[in-house]
Amino acid sequence: MPIKRIIAGLSEFHDNYFVAHRELFEQLSHGQSPGVMFITCSDSRIDPCLITQTQPGELFVVRNVGNIIPAYGSMMNSESAAIEYAIQALDIKDIIVCGHSHCGAMKGLLQIGSLSQQMPLVYDWLKHYAEPTRRLVMDNYQNCSGEQLLKIAIQQNVITQLKNLETYPAIRSRIHGGDLTIHAWIYEIETGEVFIYEPNSQEFKLIEQNTANINDTLVGLHVD
C-alpha cells in the first residue's frame, strides 16, 4: 500500500468517522479506562479492534514480534512496563494473549539458526524470550513437522506467555483474588475464527462454542 493511500485515509478518517463519533473522542481526550489488555503479534494481518469489533478506548494493546511477554525480572522492556501500567493505573480486569495462524515469528523460531546472520535482532529476541517454547516443541513433538509443527508452536507459545504473565506478582495476586482473568486465544487468518484455550481439556476450542459459559470456565484462569 503506497504512503499516499495512508495519507488519504487520514482525511477520510477526520471527515467521516471522527465527525460521526466526535462525542466519543471528546470523552477519550479526558482519559482512558479500557477493561481489557490485548497482547498480540506485530503481524500486519492482525487487527485487534477489527476482529473484536471494539471502539477506540476499549482495548489496551501491546504488540511485538511473536506476542511474547518476558517473565517478571527479565531485562527492562516495554512489555513489562505496559503490564505494570495496565494493572496499576488502568485496573485492567482481563488480559488476552492472542497468537495467530501462519506466524512468521514462530516459523523463525523453529529454524532459529538461519536467523542469526540475516536478522540478528530478531534472532536475539526469539532466542532470549521464546526459547522455552522452542525447547518444549522440539523435545516433545519430534514426530511432527511442517504446518502441524508450526500450529503446535503457535499454541504452545501463547500458553507459555500466560505462564509468564503469572510470574508478575501483581497479576498472580489479582488472579488469586478473582479480580483478573487471563485468556489464551488463537486467531485463524484464513477463516476469521478465534480459538480459546480451555485449561480443563488443555485444548483450543472455537470461541463461539464457549460464549454461553465463558465466564464460568475462565474466571481466575490459572495455567499449570
Report the predicted TM-score, pTM, of the whole model to 2 decimal places.
0.91
Q: Extract the C-alpha cell encoding 187.
A: 486467531
Is there a contact between 95 and 36 (Cβ–Cβ < 8 Å)? yes
Residue 224 pLDDT class (50, 70, 90 cuts): very low
* Interval 34-61: pLDDT, tens: 999 999 999 999 999 999 999 999 999 9
Give the CA angle between residues 117, 120, 126 to the nearest 5°: 120
User: Grid coordinates representing 121?
Assistant: 535482532
Q: In what order do the strands lie in the sheet with 181-188?
A: 59-64, 36-41, 94-100, 181-188, 193-198, 203-206
Rounded-to-integer distance, Cα 156 and Cα 201, Å: 14
Domain borders along the chain are 1-31, 32-218
Nearest to 52 by CA among 207, 169, 205, 160: 207
Could you tell me if 98 and 186 are in contact, meaning their C-beta atoms sit under 8 angstroms apart?
yes
Task: Kindly give the interhelix angle for 120-129 and 131-140, rounded to the nearest 10 degrees.
Answer: 70
Dist CA 96 CA 182 (whole Å): 6
Does domain 32-218 fall under CATH 3.40.50.2300? My reply is: no
**Other beta carbons less than 10 A from residue 60's beta carbon:** 22
Do the strands 94-100 and 36-41 form a parallel or antiparallel pair, or are they unpaired? parallel
Per-residue pLDDT tens over the stretch 174-220: 999 999 999 999 999 999 999 999 999 999 999 875 554 454 444 34
What does the pLDDT look like over 86-105, one tens digit per residue?
999 999 999 999 999 999 99
Q: How many residues does the chain have?
A: 224
Report whether pLDDT(158) > 70: yes
